[in-house]
Structure 1
Amino acid sequence: MVKVRSPRWQKKRMLKLKEDGVTVWCQSHKMSSWAKEQKSFNVMDVECIQEGCQSETLRRMAGSVPEDQCLTVVFKGSRKSLDLLCESQEEARHWVRGIHTLQERLKNMNQKDKLDHWIRTHLSKADQNHDNKMSYEEVQKLLQMINVDLSDQALNQGCRCVELDCWDGDKGEPVIYHGHTFTSKVDFVDVIETINEYAFKASPYPLILSLENHCSREQQMVMARHLRSILGDKLVTKPLKGLDSCYLPSPEDLKGRILVKGKKGKTQEQCSSSSSDLSSSEEEASQKQAKPKTNEEDKPGVSRRSPELSELVVYTRSVPFKSFELSAKSPATDMSSFPESVALRLIKDSGTHFIRHNSHQLSRIYPSSQRLGSSNYNPQEMWNAGCQIVALNFQTPGEQMDLNQGRFRQNGLCGYVLKPPFMCQPDSVFNPENVGGGPGHRPVKFTVQIISAQQLPKPEWDKPTSIVDPQVRVEIHGVPIDNMKKETPYVGNNGFNPRWDCTFNFMVHAPDLALVRFVVEDHDFTSSNDFLGQYTLPFSSLRTGYRHVPLLKLDGSSLSPASLFIHVKVTPC
């Protein structure tokens, strides 16, 4: 085909669908890292294909090129569109049909097909000499690709804060892995390149890189160099001009920007009181033991932070939490991280003070190191206290990830939602443990009628001849007084159009914080019910009247055409 950038810039290029069936390779003679990124694209990254001279570039050429041989590949996110001139009308139609067919095929894959395809793709990429055998070096490459792949999956789900556990690597290049464990090591530079590519595909709003820094001063300098060279103008290196330094910039101010979260280097006199960039697990251990964090910088052989890396920390400076009183006197750019157990204790003992703290500074909550299976805690309890960055194990599906997806379903899944006004005031008296009569107490009666369902699937592991016995559970997740679950009876042997006509009433005291979760399960007499589908959304996003609820799979992807048919009524009390 002919790649077109302007009426004067037109170059013949070879395009080829690779063996994985999802990647299109585009010929390029440029050797820069940016050009290499643009040499291929995944068909699922394609927003749409415009046939004819519809793009601005091709419209300028209308009349001078055959319109039925032109097409424009429009990508999701910030990647520039690709204008192409095919050799014939049939070839243009062939590529349009082909990409649409591949997209539909991928959307309709079941979980087993997706896993098989993912495994084959990564094994093929790692087998560099294509001998169908895996050398030690190729196994290492495979493990690295898997780790990097998990990073871009999280970003594509709207994740806006990524923790990077950084350690000294061989040959002067830092690596990322969970220290003192058997997790595979990934080059820091590879992860930053992945982040650069995927950071703003799902959301244009700022991304925070939380650096857990265990590197020597020399390799910190390498980290700083990679961050600057790869991320370029996306990286925030100085405070934004024209903004009040007493407050943090808004997500709108930081659109398209990447922030580094970490400790800032201090002067020689201050070094004796500074703490190291401990990882989440080490930070949790130090808080459990009720001891001050070890000052690694005072140990022999451990270098102080490099100024090159420290100066990249602008709006998200990591500091140890000591008390709400001291934090209130600190700048808004300071932020603390809390293990889930400490956060829960603070919520129960000092809920109102935690709310006020979170109106002034950012808080990051992370899972306990005791969660060896990468399970997740309930994020709703942390959102009730106004905590902004509630870190979860994105690789583990389940109720907690459903709540996370539901919380951020509003605002176009951009990864940011605005807290209710009563949680944003520095003198707020809201207490998530006791909302009776105070701010945020706006009780409503929520009446939902579960009428029927349509085209429910059966569990993938069931026999082809089996038929589901579906039942529906409606859950309210919010402040403790609002947490409640109610479920319908099951309908025997009907997954095509089961009907319940069950009506449930809920009293919701703090609707601004509540989530509603619809869960459909296959009733089982002898064991726990099998999950069929779910949908979670903020209570404030509910619409009254007759509604169809689209169901989602365990991994959050669409279960179309499966849905629930319900009626919603909300009455102020």
Structure 2
Amino acid sequence: MNHTIAFEIIQKYEPIEEVKRAHQMSFEGFIRYMGSSECLIFKPDCRRVYQDMTHPLNDYFISSSHNTYLISDQLLGPSDLWGYVSALVKGCRCLEIDCWDGSQNEPVVYHGYTLTSKLLFKTVIQAIHKYAFLALKFKILVKNKKIGTLKETRERKGSNKHGQVEECEEIYQAVEDEIEGSEALVSSENNPGKEIETISRGGLPLFKKRKVKVALALSDLVIYTKAEKFRSFQHSRLYQQFNESSSIGESEARKLLKLKAHEFVLHTTRFITRIYPKATRTDSSNFNPQEFWNIGCQMVALNFQTPGLPMDLQNGKFLDNGSSGYLLKPQFLRDNKTQFNPNKPPKQSDPVTLTIRLISGTQLPPSSHSSSNKADTLVILELFGVPNDQTKQQTRVIKRNAFSPRWNETFTFIIQVPELALMRFVVESQGLIAGNEFLGQYTLPVLSMNKGYRRVPLFSKLGESLEPASLFVYVWYIR
């Protein structure tokens, strides 16, 4: 650290004027500095949008939600606007709207053929319009089943089937009324000839305004990507257009990953691919998204309402690039001649050796079995990435001390594909009968880790900050 930086730190954090004038720092000043945002483990540069945002959409990982309107289970639970609001606040950029026939030709949103409650389509649009760009300026992609089938329903006027033209008119009117004159609108009129456009500016790439026949106008709203059923990698190579995307269930995708991983990677270099939870996850549980990020799937859709490991990985990965919801994929997942296969060690690997010394903890959350800070605490360091990189190590247990436990243990990780790796710090309380109890966690990309002495903030299972609870670590790697 040079003298100028040291002087600035002293001036900013040293509370004792006499010490400050002597260009020194007291213990109190040092504690204030170490507790500041400047000493967090997450790199300051990664808190802003720093990646090239002019690539086509298929070159990005996109923060994506599944059945966004649901806030509980998939069969009986409520549909609620909070599903959209909370997902947008968490940086989600791909939302799902299931539009169905409602009473008096007013479209509704719910999980079709189930007992979930219904939302008015127009209120969903109002919520998205209000919250989509409060913190983020980048595009929202909307997967809308009704709009996705409009080209097939243009001539079915008067039919009672899902997607009928009368309902389309209501959809168009809802958009017209809510977003009149809004800069959030993106149309083919101001995007001539761009079916999949770059994402260098804000906008909602779903709705446009053009005074023509309603059904035709609505079908033409799909200007970014058209949904097509996935048949096979060979079929896609021969027939799929660059602006056509496909959705694959997690079970089928997992089989393809095991049998044809390299083909899967080549597929995602060309086409937007969305992975969604299997139908048997009626409790809105989630799968591990890492295995599908490893093969370049752009939209790995999760149930945002369900906390746990998958959402920890989701939130941690998309911290990067200013939490914009868009992450530029590594070059080896964008090159349509790539040889990358996540199931095999890279032939020309430049592994990173990551060293983490876990020094201590501060005011860790109390165990539910104890009202004081007397929990028996330990920390697990979990590395997620390609299969060869996945591993975890843990500290010893510090007995009856969650207030200021000291471990001072060093851990080393050899990471073959650091561009895809996430590190998850998990604090637990040891339990002899019921098993260990989760106390807090923090997840972030390995290459977004700040070197040196750093503070690791902790978050609850629901994703809430547990400040001032934190870990104190030393991080080092060379790349």
* Residue 247 of structure 2: aligned partner: 337
1:320 aligned onto 2:229: yes
Give the fraction of aligned pairs with identical amino acids, expressed as a percent: 41
Q: Secondary structure at the match of 2:469?
A: strand
* Residue 199 of structure 2: aligned partner: 251
Q: Deviations over 1:358-413 (max 9, x none)?
A: 12221111111101111100000110010111100000001100000011001111
* Residue 55 of structure 2: aligned partner: none
Q: Does the 8 A contact of 1:477 with 1:514 survive in 2?
A: yes
2:356 corresponds, among 448, 459, 469, to 448
* Residue 186 of structure 2: aligned partner: 236
- In the TM superposition, 1:6-155 aligns within 5 A as 147-155=80-88
* Residue 421 of structure 1: aligned partner: 331
Q: State the shift of 1:172 in Å.
A: 1.3
* Residue 513 of structure 1: aligned partner: 420
Q: State the shift of 1:202 in Å.
A: 3.0
Q: State the shift of 1:257 in Å.
A: 2.6
Q: State the shift of 1:434 in Å.
A: 1.1
Q: State the shift of 1:353 in Å.
A: 1.9
Distance 1:512 1:420, change over 3 A: same
1:504 aligned onto 2:452: no
* Residue 52 of structure 1: aligned partner: none
Q: State the shift of 1:483 in Å.
A: 0.4
Q: Deviations over 1:148-172 (max 9, x none)?
A: 1221111111011111111100111
Q: Does the 8 A contact of 1:157 with 1:202 survive in 2?
A: no
- Give, in whole Å, the separation in 2 of the partners of 1:466 and 1:358: 48
Amino acid at match of 1:426: N
* Residue 61 of structure 1: aligned partner: none
Q: Does the 8 A contact of 1:449 with 1:504 survive in 2?
A: yes
Distance 1:226 1:395, change over 3 A: same
Q: State the shift of 1:451 in Å.
A: 0.8
- Give, in whole Å, the separation in 1 of the partners of 2:292 and 2:216: 34
- In the TM superposition, 1:365-404 aligns within 5 A as 365-404=275-314
* Residue 392 of structure 2: aligned partner: 485
1:169 aligned onto 2:78: no
- In the TM superposition, 1:169-568 aligns within 5 A as 169-213=102-146, 214-232=162-180, 233=182, 234-238=184-188, 240-241=190-191, 245=194, 248-253=196-201, 255-259=202-206, 306-328=215-237, 329-438=239-348, 441-459=349-367, 461-465=368-372, 467-568=374-475
Q: Secondary structure at the match of 1:472?
A: strand
Q: Does the 8 A contact of 1:161 with 1:210 survive in 2?
A: yes
Amino acid at match of 2:350: R
Q: Secondary structure at the match of 1:189?
A: helix
Q: State the shift of 1:465 in Å.
A: 4.6
* Residue 270 of structure 1: aligned partner: none
Q: State the shift of 1:256 in Å.
A: 2.7
- Give, in whole Å, the separation in 2 of the partners of 1:338 and 1:239: 31
Q: Does the 8 A contact of 2:196 with 2:225 survive in 1?
A: no
Amino acid at match of 2:450: R
Distance 1:556 1:218, change over 3 A: same
Q: Does the 8 A contact of 1:358 with 1:387 survive in 2?
A: yes
Q: State the shift of 1:344 in Å.
A: 1.4
Q: Secondary structure at the match of 1:468?
A: coil
- Give, in whole Å, the separation in 2 of the partners of 1:454 and 1:178: 44
Gaps spanning 5+ residues in structure 1: where?
Answer: 1-142, 262-304
Q: Does the 8 A contact of 1:458 with 1:467 survive in 2?
A: yes
| Alignment RMSD (CA, Å) | 2.1
Amino acid at match of 1:444: V
Distance 1:212 1:430, change over 3 A: same
Amino acid at match of 1:538: P
* Residue 569 of structure 1: aligned partner: 476
* Residue 100 of structure 1: aligned partner: none
Q: Does the 8 A contact of 2:365 with 2:373 survive in 1?
A: no
Q: Deviations over 1:112-148 (max 9, x none)?
A: xxxxxxxxxxxxxxxxxxxxxxxxxxxxxxx97x601
Q: Deviations over 1:425-480 (max 9, x none)?
A: 11111111113314xx3212111111100011114x44435621110000000000
Q: State the shift of 1:495 in Å.
A: 1.0
Q: Secondary structure at the match of 1:347?
A: helix
Higher Cα Rg, which structure: 1
- Give, in whole Å, the separation in 1 of the partners of 2:272 and 2:264: 11
- Give, in whole Å, the separation in 2 of the partners of 1:424 and 1:228: 37
Q: Does the 8 A contact of 2:354 with 2:414 survive in 1?
A: yes
Q: Deviations over 1:321-344 (max 9, x none)?
A: 123233235332110011111111
* Residue 32 of structure 1: aligned partner: none
Distance 1:465 1:561, change over 3 A: closer
Q: Secondary structure at the match of 1:451?
A: strand
Q: Does the 8 A contact of 1:476 with 1:514 survive in 2?
A: yes
Amino acid at match of 1:458: P
Q: Secondary structure at the match of 1:561?
A: strand
Distance 1:239 1:351, change over 3 A: farther
Q: Secondary structure at the match of 1:259?
A: coil
Q: State the shift of 1:571 in Å.
A: 4.1
Q: Secondary structure at the match of 2:206?
A: strand
Gaps spanning 5+ residues in structure 2: where?
Answer: 1-76, 147-161, 209-213
- Give, in whole Å, the separation in 1 of the partners of 2:271 and 2:177: 30
Q: Secondary structure at the match of 2:473?
A: strand
Q: Deviations over 1:298-332 (max 9, x none)?
A: xxxxxxx9323211101121011123233235332
Q: Work out which structure has the larger RCO, using CA pairs closer than 8 Å and 6 or more positions apart in sequence.
A: 2
Q: State the shift of 1:240 in Å.
A: 4.8
- Give, in whole Å, the separation in 1 of the partners of 2:374 and 2:121: 49
Amino acid at match of 2:169: M
